[in-house]
């Protein structure tokens, strides 16, 4: 029986969400000699294929409970794809319609999946996202264009971090029997890191929460708009607080590690070839950060849990993946020296704009 259903068998799609496994990475980067344990939480095993299935269910469940979502209503949001896929799957299963706004560069696999569930997509030119505050302006447009729809508001809806506080965090705590010392996550809306990190710290105040963000060369600018980026990995430092998503709780974050897109893609490939895990590039970035942490002497004997948000299958057409016939070995993190441990960890800011989880 899952935590989601009172029945002996699942009777709705959401009953299949969560309780994803942890896998210890023994071969990744020569980890078998490491005094530090890395456990990957395999979120692509959720029914619609990513950690965002939790977010989608958390938002729909809360909106149904408080009467904000009417039968047959249309769900709408701006998404980097995975939330749209999770919402589209649940909308199909629960009789809602759905429409999502995405960057034009979103992988065709993700757009195809949203269509497969019967939802609509609107693509927005990537250049529109380049100015500070652009996301808020685009969201204003999304809401204006869809006045009758239910705006799921994944960036600010407290049901997003809450579902991670209630499920992702407790699962990690239960499945490590409290051994987890460090949580590593990417940040899109911040829901994962805020809810999961907050729960784990409530159990173990000394636990460290680390997020990965794009390094300077992987952030598009008006001068260099076509930079290769990782879906689901966003800047959290050097961003004004009002431009961070409301669901990102920087107070829960102890450190930020920067990762270039190329490093994220290489690490995802190393994960596939060393462990048989087809992780997406955001998970590559997370595992890049986890490898850096594992290389630090002060982390010897510690247990790191790294979030594998989605599968590499939804990015097979992206640069550096399609047509890649490079044989093994892929570059792997080096312990104790070299590029993997050379980047300093930057301590995250601690603004107090984020209130308690509602």
Residues annotated as catalytic are 52, 282
Residue 77 touching ligand PLP (CB under 6 A): no
Q: What is the DSSP string of 185-239?
A: EE-SSSHHHHHHHHHHHHH-TT-EEEEEEE-GGGS--SSSTT----TT----SSS
Residue 106 touching ligand PLP (CB under 6 A): no
> What ranges in the chain are assigned the alpha helix state H?
52-65, 82-94, 108-116, 134-145, 159-163, 169-175, 191-203, 261-275, 281-294, 339-342
Q: How far is the CB of 18 from ligand PLP (least distance, A)?
A: 14
| Cis peptide preceding 329, ω within 30 of 0 | yes
In angstroms, the CA 50 to CA 47 distance is 8
3-state secondary structure of 183: strand
Residues 187-216 that bind ligand PLP (CB under 6 A): 187-192
Nearest partner of 296 among 248, 235, 345, 330, judged by Cα: 345
Residue 310 touching ligand PLP (CB under 6 A): yes
Q: How many other C-beta atoms lie within 10 A of the C-beta of residue 119?
A: 23
Taking CB under 6 A as the criterion, the residue among 149, 309, 332, 357 binding ligand PLP is: 309
Residues 262-301 that bind ligand PLP (CB under 6 A): 280, 282
Residue 229 touching ligand PLP (CB under 6 A): no
Q: Segment near ligand PLP (CB under 6 A), from 91-99, 181-189, 292-300, 336-344?
A: 181-189
Residue 82 touching ligand PLP (CB under 6 A): yes
Residue 158 touching ligand PLP (CB under 6 A): no
Do 194 and 221 contact (CB within 8 A), yes or no?
no
How many residues form the binding site for ligand PLP (CB under 6 A)? 15
Q: Segment near ligand PLP (CB under 6 A), from 61-69, 184-192, 263-271, 346-354?
A: 184-192
Name which of 46 and 192 has its Cβ closer to ligand PLP. 192
Q: How far is the CB of 188 from ligand PLP (least distance, A)?
A: 2
Name which of 185 and 299 has its Cβ closer to ligand PLP. 185
Residue ranges in contact with ligand PLP by CB under 6 A: 80, 82, 186-192, 231-232, 280, 282, 309-310
């Amino acid at each position: 029986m899952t935590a989601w259903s009172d029945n002996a068998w699942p009777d709705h799609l959401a009953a299949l969400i969560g309780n994803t496994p942890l896998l210890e990475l023994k071969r990744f980067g020569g980890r078998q000699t490491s005094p530090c344990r890395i456990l990957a939480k395999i979120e692509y095993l959720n029914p619609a294929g990513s950690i965002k299935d939790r977010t989608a269910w958390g938002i729909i469940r809360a909106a149904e409970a408080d009467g904000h979502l009417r039968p047959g209503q249309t769900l709408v949001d701006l998404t980097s794809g995975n939330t749209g896929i999770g919402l589209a799957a649940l909308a199909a299963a629960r009789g809602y319609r759905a429409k999502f706004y995405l960057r034009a560069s979103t992988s065709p696999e993700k757009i195809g999946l949203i269509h497969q569930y019967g939802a609509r997509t609107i693509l927005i030119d990537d250049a529109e996202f380049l100015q500070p505050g652009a996301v808020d302006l685009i969201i204003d447009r999304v809401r204006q264009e869809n006045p009758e729809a239910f705006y799921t508001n994944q960036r600010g809806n407290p049901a997003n971090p809450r579902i991670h506080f209630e499920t992702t965090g407790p699962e990690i705590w239960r499945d490590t029997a409290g051994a987890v010392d460090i949580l590593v996550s990417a940040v899109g809306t911040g829901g994962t890191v805020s809810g999961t990190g907050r729960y784990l710290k409530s159990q173990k105040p000394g636990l460290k929460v680390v997020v990965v963000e794009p390094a300077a060369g992987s952030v598009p600018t008006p001068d260099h708009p076509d930079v290769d980026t990782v879906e689901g990995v966003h800047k959290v430092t050097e961003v004004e607080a009002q431009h961070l998503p409301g669901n990102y709780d920087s107070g829960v974050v102890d450190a930020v590690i920067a990762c270039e897109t190329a490093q994220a893609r290489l690490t995802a490939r190393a994960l596939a070839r060393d462990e048989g895990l087809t992780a997406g590039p955001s998970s590559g970035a997370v595992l890049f950060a986890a490898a850096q942490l594992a290389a630090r002497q002060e982390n010897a004997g510690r247990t790191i849990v790294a979030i594998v948000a989605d599968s590499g299958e939804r990015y097979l057409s992206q640069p550096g993946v399609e047509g890649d016939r490079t044989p093994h070995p892929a570059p792997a993190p080096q312990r104790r020296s070299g590029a993997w441990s050379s980047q300093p960890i930057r301590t995250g800011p601690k603004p107090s704009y984020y209130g308690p989880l509602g």
